[in-house]
Structure 1
Amino acid sequence: MDVLDLARTQFAVTGSLHFLFVVLTLGLAPLVAIMQTVGTFRGRPDMMRMARFWGQIYVINYALGIATGLVMEFQFGLSWSGLSHYAGDVFGAPLAIETLGAFFLESTFLGLWIFGWHRLSPRLHLACIWIVTLTAYASAFWIMVANAFLQNPAGAADRGDHLELVDPGALLANPMLVMALPHVIGASLLTGGFVVMGASAYRLFRRTSEQRFFTASLRFGVVVAAVGAVVTVAFGFAQFGPVGEFQPGKFDDAPLAGAGLGFMIMIGELLQLFVLFFLLPVIHWLPRWRWVHPLVMLATPLPFLAAILGWLAREVGRQPWLIYGKLTVADAMSPGLTSGMVTTSLIAFTAVLGLLAVTDYILIARTVRRGPAAVSLGAAPTGPDPAPERAAALSL
């Protein structure tokens, strides 16, 4: 492979691995917030236990995902300085707002939420997780603003050797953003719902002593996955309009993008049928139907696969352009790169991010196996987590 193909492969690998963390973070955050809201306002200890358990899984994924995001920042300086020089005034603005505003705010309030159990008032503590959720989605918005600019450089004017932002409104109302953002949000909810479903199905299939806890979690995951499936599929097809207008031939000219799109659509439709027409109608009996639980577990990785395929279709389909119609990938590369340099960084980044991904799923699997009684997040400072029998009695 030449240096250009190596640099593209490096970005694709690191971007894909990072997106695995992002899609789960965006999917779990609102679920945990809703659980805690019900537990706070309705006095439901069982829902608070759910918020703590699934919240710990969220924190694990978030903490390890931060490191993968840092690698993405290094990518622009290491391999794509031409992009920073030509479009940094436009492309860098939403990235800076995302980092300095949404991400720092999200991290701050996540810390308050993690350490604020039994220290903050219940409603103030609840407000923290909702701010975490809203700022997480604000981060997604600004990242998608930057990505939509690469797909369609709206709001920018060519000033010879660089682009200048002349219309912020056009940048924020980019047609390549309007339908893509809800699609990503729907895919995240679908992923978060399936993770909750898959973990709950695993514990119920193993005949856990926490039957009531994972029964409620399984049903909750089905409802969230159903909402996510509808939103994902609806806004996925809605994107064909702006894509056909601004990037005609996107999938015809790039066979890999077309194949990725086809598999993504197939998986999305399959998951939608599985959730809406099989799981949702039998949601009352589903926790007791052990023969269905392996099917749910097997389907759990599919939303992750669909998310990666969708990202690849969106990015590969505009080749050879990095900024569509303005800057090619070759012109965006940093000067002086050699195959050896890029190969070394590719191996290093892949090893580190791969290790983080494996560690993430090992820790999540261990948390699921240990169950809610072993959760440390939000544990009472004077003793261990209440026994399941006590929690059930309090809920009654």
Structure 2
Amino acid sequence: MSAVDLARLQFAATTGIHWLFVILTMGLVPLVAVLHTRAAYTRDPAKRAARERMTRFWGQLYVINYAVGIVTGLVMEFQFGLSWSGLGKFAGNVFGAPLALETLIAFFAESTFLGMWIFGWGRLRRGVHTTLIWLVALTAYVSAYWIMVANGFMQHPVGYEVRDGTAYLTDFGALLTNSSALVALGHVALGALTTGGVFVAGISCYHCARGARETELFRGSLRLGLWVSAVASFFVVVVGELQMPVLERTQPMKAAVLEGSGVAEERARLVAEHGPGDWVPWQDTVRISMDAMTLIGNTVSTVTLLALFLLWKDRLVRWRPLAYLMTAMVPLPFLASVGGWVVREAGRQPWLVYGELTVDDALSHVSRASLAVSCAVFVAVFVALTAVNWTLIVRFARRGPGATQLGATEPLGGGEVPPMSVVAL
């Protein structure tokens, strides 16, 4: 493999694996926030205790995924300077601000709010404690917005001018309202909510099918997960279709590949504009990824909608094969999201900044041997972190609320003792 291929493989593998953490984090935290709010403002002590156990159980799974995922995120920023210095030289004046804001929000604001929420059980007033988890959810989506702004510039550069081979920001508003970023952000947010909903519904079905003692807890979680995933999976398909007009306007080659027509004409236009070169992305890869994402998305939408009707008279819970089918569906939204990521990133090749900077021109002056070593190390570390993450999630998910450690502290003296105090399980 060439140095370019190794650098691309390294970045594709690390960003793809990191994305699996991100989509579950974004999808799960709003559900935890909803559960926490319901628990905090429930008057009946028995219902409040059950809803608190529900919040702590799902909150712990969220914290595990976030904690391990944040480690994978640390590597992403460094790769731009290590392997893709050409991107910084050309677009650093435009590209750097969104990345810096995302780092400040994700690694400082979001982490701070989450830490306060984790250690605030039994110590903070219920209003303050509830606000913290909503702030965690808000900063997660704000962080995603800044990432999409940066990625949107790479997909469809706007609000800039090139002077002496360097891009300079001229219209910050155009950068913030880039259609390539905003429509994609809606698609990503709905995909994340679908992932979180299916995750909650699948684990809840697993415990209900096994006749767990916390049946009512998991039935409540199942209803929430199904409603969220059914609604989100329907609209994620709708918003996904809204991206095609944007692609036809901003990335006609990708649109031509997906539609299966006009590729030769678009190739001829690019050759005339940019000179000889291979301006066509990997057509089979893009099409297969698109087909897989579409098939999985429609399947999840159909199954979750049918599962909502089966909640009547507990048919979904009583018919164990159906319950285990919901559990088996947990990986599907992750696979669909990876397919969408491949379409978005591979479909713009060979451009790094579409129409302005190619991948070859952006590569740092790094030896092939160095890239081979770093690629092997990074991929191995990321795979190990993924294995650790899902081992912990599966272990705590199977053990149920009885093994939950989040919030397992006694309230401190002084001040109001909130109704979110720990309940012995």
Q: What TM-score do the two structures reach when normalised by structure 2? A: 0.88
Contact 2:21 2:69 in 1 (8 A): yes
Contact 2:122 2:411 in 1 (8 A): no
1:68 to 61, 68, 72: 72
Aligned partner letter, 1:36: H
Contact 1:374 1:385 in 2 (8 A): no
Contact 2:149 2:176 in 1 (8 A): yes
Partner residue in 1 for 2:131 = 127
Partner residue in 1 for 2:163 = 159
Contact 2:158 2:178 in 1 (8 A): yes
State whether structure 2 residue 238 is matched by structure 1 residue 210: no
Instruction: Return 5+ residue gaps in structure 2 as ranges.
Output: 258-279, 413-420
Partner residue in 1 for 2:356 = 326
**Residue 160 of structure 1: how far off its partner (Å):** 2.0
Aligned equivalents of 1:262 and 1:288: distance in 2?
Answer: 34
Partner residue in 2 for 1:292 = 322
Contact 1:153 1:324 in 2 (8 A): yes
Contact 1:373 1:386 in 2 (8 A): no
Contact 2:121 2:411 in 1 (8 A): no
Partner residue in 2 for 1:393 = none
Contact 1:103 1:136 in 2 (8 A): no
**Residue 380 of structure 1: how far off its partner (Å):** 4.0
Partner residue in 2 for 1:282 = 310
Instruction: Return 5+ residue gaps in structure 1 as ranges.
Output: 389-396
Aligned partner letter, 1:132: V
**Partner deviation per Cα, 1:113-154 (whole Å, 9 max, x = no partner):** 000011110110000001110001000000000000000011
Partner residue in 1 for 2:194 = 190
**Residue 211 of structure 1: how far off its partner (Å):** 1.1
Aligned partner letter, 2:20: L
Higher Cα radius of gyration: 2
Aligned equivalents of 2:295 and 2:399: distance in 1?
Answer: 35
Contact 1:322 1:332 in 2 (8 A): yes
Alignment root-mean-square deviation, CA: 1.5
**Residue 102 of structure 1: how far off its partner (Å):** 4.8
Structure 1 range deviating more: 374-383 or 262-271: 374-383
Contact 1:197 1:221 in 2 (8 A): yes
**Residue 98 of structure 1: how far off its partner (Å):** 1.2
**Residue 45 of structure 1: how far off its partner (Å):** 2.2
**Residue 205 of structure 1: how far off its partner (Å):** 2.1
State whether structure 2 residue 145 is matched by structure 1 residue 141: yes
State whether structure 2 residue 375 is matched by structure 1 residue 340: no
Aligned equivalents of 1:347 and 1:102: distance in 2?
Answer: 27
**Partner deviation per Cα, 1:263-314 (whole Å, 9 max, x = no partner):** 11111111111112x1111223222221201211211101000001100110
Contact 1:190 1:229 in 2 (8 A): yes
Partner residue in 1 for 2:57 = 53
Structure 1 range deviating more: 41-50 or 131-140: 41-50
**Residue 259 of structure 1: how far off its partner (Å):** 1.7
Aligned equivalents of 1:268 and 1:359: distance in 2?
Answer: 27
Aligned partner letter, 2:322: V
Partner residue in 2 for 1:394 = none
Overall identity of the aligned pairs, in %: 49
Aligned equivalents of 1:338 and 1:325: distance in 2?
Answer: 27
**Residue 338 of structure 1: how far off its partner (Å):** 2.1
Partner residue in 2 for 1:359 = 388
Matched residue SS, 2:253 = coil
Structure 1 range deviating more: 248-257 or 305-314: 248-257
Q: How does 1:296-307 map to 2 (within 5 A)?
A: 296-307=326-337
Q: What TM-score do the two structures reach when normalised by structure 1? A: 0.95
Q: How does 1:1-396 map to 2 (within 5 A)?
A: 1-43=1-43, 44-250=48-254, 252=257, 253-254=280-281, 255=283, 256-276=285-305, 278-284=306-312, 285=314, 286-335=316-365, 337-381=366-410, 386=423
Q: 1:20 to 1:262 in 2, by over 3 A?
A: same
Aligned partner letter, 2:331: P
Contact 2:122 2:422 in 1 (8 A): no
Aligned equivalents of 2:161 and 2:97: distance in 1?
Answer: 15
Matched residue SS, 1:179 = helix
Contact 2:156 2:180 in 1 (8 A): yes
Contact 1:83 1:332 in 2 (8 A): yes
**Partner deviation per Cα, 1:143-174 (whole Å, 9 max, x = no partner):** 00000000001111111221000001100111
Matched residue SS, 2:321 = coil
Aligned equivalents of 2:409 and 2:108: distance in 1?
Answer: 28
Matched residue SS, 2:229 = helix
